[in-house]
Amino acid sequence: MELIHSLIDFILHIDKHLAQITSQYQSWTYLILFLIIFAETGFVVTPFLPGDSLLFAAGALIAGGKTGLDIYVLGIILVIAAFTGNTVNYLLGNYLGPKVFKPENKILKLEYYLKTKEFFDKYGGKAVIFSRFLPIIRTVAPFVAGVGAMPLGKYSLYNIVGGLAWVLSFLVLGYFFGNIEVVKRNFTLVVVAIIVLSIIPPIYAAITSKKTQKS
């Protein structure tokens, strides 16, 4: 319970926590942020780590000029983290998928594997790119792409495009808007707004899909 409380506090007050990290660890902050983004995108068990809000807060703090970090260097490092994290996640799905989705498996049915493969054959590129902007889904999508046996070369192309778009857009937004006085005073509300706006599309899609299935 304490761990959950600490995680929620870290996400909601990420600007303050990130300022403490940069003050304490200085250049090592590059590595810390790399590991957070890598883990959030690289392992299906860590979708709870901050992504959008972390990038926005990092951009805002760099604009404030008190971190000693360079936004160009950070951008490159975090794009690499996002790309390699998704690649590891994809490879895990590609390796484990055919082994766990078997006809005799009552939970992970072979039928699910075949449907996943069909989905990524048809919508794979768009799914990989747009999933970057959706919390939890961006952590699961690479694994599912691997399970669906999407070709690695094709996946890597969409992976780098999605990673660039995601990392740079939130860094730049934070850099240019994070230091506006009204944003600084209400940073927690901004973080909540980012989270809420990013989870609306998948919730809407899920509701629409259920209605379609019922009809």
Q: Is the pTM of this model over 0.95?
A: no
For 61-113, the pLDDT digits (tens) are: 898 877 788 999 999 999 999 999 999 999 998 888 777 666 666 655 666 56
Helix residue ranges, H only, 26-109: 29-42, 52-64, 71-100
Annotated domain spans of the chain: 2-214
For 129-153, the pLDDT digits (tens) are: 888 888 888 888 888 888 888 889 9
DSSP secondary structure code for residue 59 in this structure: H
Q: How many residues does the chain have?
A: 215
